[in-house]
Amino acid sequence: MNSKIPVCLEVGRSYRPKAEYSIRMLLGSLGLGPIFKSRSELSRGGLYYGHHPAGLHSGVTVCSFSNRAEEFFDHSTSLNPTSVKWRHYSGYNIPILFSSERGEDLVASAFYWLSGWQEHTVHSRDQHGRFPHKASLQSVLNTTHLPVVEFYRDILREKLAVAEVHTEHRTWSGKNWAFCPTIDVDYLRHWRPGMIYREKVLYFLLNHRKVNMSRRWRRLFQFIRSYCTPGDAFQIALKRMHRLIRTYGSATVFLKTAAHGPNDVNYRLDQIFIQNIVRELQSDHFEIGLHPSYHAYSHPKYLRKERHALTKLVGISPVSVRQHFLRYEPAITPQIQMRAGFRIDSSLGFAECAGFRNGTCLPFLKFDCARNKVLDLWEIPLLLMDGALFNRQKYNVDEAVQRSVELLKLCKKFGGIGVVLWHNVIGEEMDYPGWADHFEQIIKWSSEQDAYIGSLRDTLALWTGYSYDQR
């Protein structure tokens, strides 16, 4: 349970909800719960953030305030990267987005990242309607690999220690950090009619891959051998992933319940394999979450119906969701997720690369920038996924493992959560060479590093002290 700390805010009316939110998120991971007070109620201790720090008791910790930050958020503008200041801290160069002659404004800087402010003010989107990494401030500053908000928390922790304010290092069931393996089940059948047509016509006859005849014949023979092998590769992969993960803990498996466009592949929920795998997963305390259809990120009716269908399948109301293709529009998606009944989202990772999209490896509540208020919806941010590592960043297995470990070490350093997304395609070496090796090595490495390994639902329950098992 968080210890209480009095906090005085003397900021503008429209900026106050932002400052309150940022302070709550920063202090929560330090084991502190803010109680907002007037200036006179701070007496001999507490935290102050605002325009008039002069005259406070020496025991009050002052968070430096930037007038420019307040003006910036009031006018809904995008950030000029040249205004960023840099601080060398704990061996890293950390960007401080807002500062003044009084010092570094950690509250405003943290709010920018946690609220996803840039995604509201930068209107660039890719072909799937996603905020692209190349348009992000992280890309410009080359800090995608850093959980900068965690560095801000450590700096704040040091400030509080000077005033002898006790802070905690939160743990996960006695472990110093957490690892959440997640599986997106986009397909349940490997050799579907469209895939067979691709191999026979597009790849072999029409040579869409633009390779020589020897390689075309080799690929065709690989296809025939795979097609004739008993069992379905993607179903075998899902069972294999389940068996390995349960050795160390549990996970979240995201299932689809509908298809509404060419980027969706439907699978029947009444088939024996689905019925059996759901029972097996639930018996090992794996969480079943919803992987909505392609258009559901902005379509409330689709999302509600798909959640209802999953509830009927698994017997409990799913609390976790990850949008298909990581499609996410900040002014729309979190609102319809919350109204549909979800409590946890884990869509906020970059589709093109691994890294910290919101500058953090800890859970945080969503903030509605348009309505200037906090939402009752948690984000457990996605750190990396197999497709980004292998298909977009073009890593080989060793490179993918090395990059994954580098990022996970930062999650461990700050006592955070490393969320990794794999698809149930591992072991299918024709199109996904090395993906299985990456999966197995990262799971085992996380266990060797003494991580708590669990589902998104159970990990958040450890963080908040609230059960999300909705029956």
What whole-number distance in Å separates Cα of residue 385 and Cα of residue 353?
A: 8
pLDDT higher than 80, residue 43: no
Query: Of 21-25, 27-31, 62-66, 186-190, where does mean pLDDT reach its minimum?
Result: 186-190
- Per DSSP, the three-state class of 458 is helix
pLDDT higher than 70, residue 470: no
Q: How many CB atoms lie within 10 A of CB 365?
A: 17
Amino acid making up residue 338: M
252-264 residue pLDDT tens:
999 999 999 889 9
Report the pLDDT averaged over residues 284-296: 98
Amino acid making up residue 417: I
Report the pLDDT averaged over residues 184-198: 88
pTM of the full structure: 0.95
Residue 71's contacts (CB-CB under 8 Å, 6 or more residues apart) are none
Contacts 24+ apart (CB under 8 A), 91-95: 92/146, 92/151, 94/146, 94/148, 94/151, 94/152, 95/141, 95/143, 95/148
412-433 residue pLDDT tens:
999 999 999 999 999 888 889 9
pLDDT higher than 90, residue 75: no
What is the reported pLDDT for 251? 98
Asked if residues 34 and 27 have their Cβ atoms less than 8 Å apart, the reply is yes
% of residues, the chain, pLDDT over 70: 99
Task: Output b/e per residue, 101-112; b: 16+ Cβ within 10 A.
Answer: eeebbbbbbbbb
Helix, strand, coil tally for the chain in percent (to 5): 40, 15, 40
pLDDT higher than 60, residue 471: no
More confident site: 270 or 345: 345
- Per DSSP, the three-state class of 293 is coil
Report the pLDDT averaged over residues 89-112: 96
Provide the 8-state DSSP code for 379.
E
What is the reported pLDDT for 193? 84
Average pLDDT, the chain: 94
pLDDT higher than 70, residue 114: yes
More confident site: 470 or 110: 110
What's the chain's Rg over C-alpha atoms? 24
pLDDT higher than 90, residue 225: no
Residue 194's contacts (CB-CB under 8 Å, 6 or more residues apart) are none
Q: Which of 142, 160, 140 is nearest to 152 (CA)?
A: 160
Report the pLDDT averaged over residues 304-324: 97
